[in-house]
Structure 1
Amino acid sequence: MIALRRAGAAEFEAVLDTALAIYTAAMRPPPDQLAGRKSIMRGHTTYPDFTCVLAESPTGALIGFAYGFRGAPGQWWHDVIYRAIAGRDGEDAARRWLGDALEVAEVHVHPDHQGKGTGRAMMHALTEGRPESTAVLSTHDQPTAARHLYRTLGFVDLLTQFVFPGGYEHYAIMGAPLPLAGHDRYRGVADPATGR
């Protein structure tokens, strides 16, 4: 059975190299982007109300992680997305989605452990008890398993075919009201053998 454990900023920084290896296996980014990604992840630990969930195998090995923080003006992602939503749908829409939001920055499960409910369990654990009214995130604008998961949790598309400044890949910006859909049925990671 996979075990989920909450971690603070210092504990996440202590496993950052392993987390980066999971990110690399799951996302397959160009090698020249890894140093920058590590720096971004480390920087996120300083954001307000940083929260992290670690998923561990029965042997204690880290197999997945998810983290987020309270979005606020002055944070790069927050400001870019706020401007984009406000420019398309107006200030009220931007405020409604981003004015009181948990920004889910990273959700990754090692490919050897995907498809067993770990991502869903981490999302529920990450958002459980959060005071924010919404959760927002970005994901590749493709029919991926991650995007399907987010939709089943209540996330809707806020922006599609979005390209971040200086980037070239297309992203979907998604948002969901908190608590997430299915939170009342959440009982932890499902046992693949029994489905419970």
Structure 2
Amino acid sequence: MIEFRGAGPAEFGERLETVIGIYTAAMNPPEDQITGRKTIMRNHGTYPHFQCYFAELHDSSRAIRDLEPKVVGFAYGFRGAPGQWWHDVVLRAMTTQSGEQVAGAWLGHAFELAEIHVHPDYQSKGIGRAMIRTLCAGRSERSALLSTHDRPTAARHLYASLGFTDLLSRFVFPGGYEEYAIVGRPLPLT
């Protein structure tokens, strides 16, 4: 049985190796990017209104052997604010494309879903969808935003099915080369 357990910044930092393990299994990044990704994630834990959820597999036979559930996924986010790299880059791009008023409406009081990952052995079981719903439940921000690869992936389909719409497409982050879509939706999730 999968259960979702909330974790604040301290526990998130303590479990960063587990988080990186799931991220690496799900995303298969180049080896030389993992240390940088770990630093970014650790930094995210210091952002305002940070919240994380772990998807834990509770199996009675595992519990007896290991005394601890197996983490099979995680999702976290925080309130976006000026001075945060992703927030500032996306705000500039949206302002250029759609104007200051539209960009401010989306990013002015937004919950940024920074990472949502499920270990490949447990994907396509509704865990990602449930983590997003759990993570967004009760948030006071007026919108939720995230970036995802701009191609037809299972993740892209999931976000669309939850009502996220494209705010920017074919967007390349500074220093990068892959195309991303910046997607958003008003909160609360229904």
In the superposition, the TM-score normalised over structure 1's length comes to 0.91
Q: CA-to-partner distance for each residue in 1:51-71, whole Å, 9 max, x for gaps?
A: 001100114100000000000
The residue that corresponds to 1:189 in the other structure is none
The residue that corresponds to 1:86 in the other structure is 95
Counterpart of 1:147 in structure 2: which amino acid? R
The residue that corresponds to 2:175 in the other structure is 166
Verify: 1:105 aligned to 2:131, yes or no.
no
The equivalences for 1:1-12 within 5 A come to 1-12=1-12
The residue that corresponds to 1:34 in the other structure is 34
Question: SS state of the match for residue 175, structure 1?
Answer: strand
The residue that corresponds to 2:131 in the other structure is 122
Counterpart of 1:17 in structure 2: which amino acid? E
Counterpart of 2:47 in structure 1: which amino acid? Y
Q: Gaps (5+ residues) in structure 1?
A: 184-196
In the alignment, which of 157, 171, 178 is matched to residue 166 of structure 2?
Answer: 157
Question: SS state of the match for residue 6, structure 1?
Answer: strand
- RMSD, matched Cα: 0.6
Question: SS state of the match for residue 42, structure 2?
Answer: helix
Q: Identity, % of aligned pairs?
A: 64
The residue that corresponds to 1:13 in the other structure is 13
Deviating above 6 A after TM superposition, structure 1's stretches of 4 or more consecutive aligned residues are: none
The equivalences for 1:47-62 within 5 A come to 47-59=47-59, 60-62=69-71
Q: Shift of residue 9 of structure 1?
A: 0.4
In the superposition, the TM-score normalised over structure 2's length comes to 0.94
Q: Distance between the aligned counterparts of 2:180 and 2:156, measured in 1? A: 11
Q: Shift of residue 34 of structure 1?
A: 0.1
Question: SS state of the match for residue 168, structure 2?
Answer: strand
Q: Distance between the aligned counterparts of 1:119 and 1:88, measured in 2? A: 30
Question: SS state of the match for residue 91, structure 2?
Answer: helix
Q: Distance between the aligned counterparts of 1:14 and 1:118, measured in 2? A: 23
Counterpart of 2:163 in structure 1: which amino acid? G
The residue that corresponds to 1:192 in the other structure is none
Q: Distance between the aligned counterparts of 2:29 and 2:130, measured in 1? A: 25
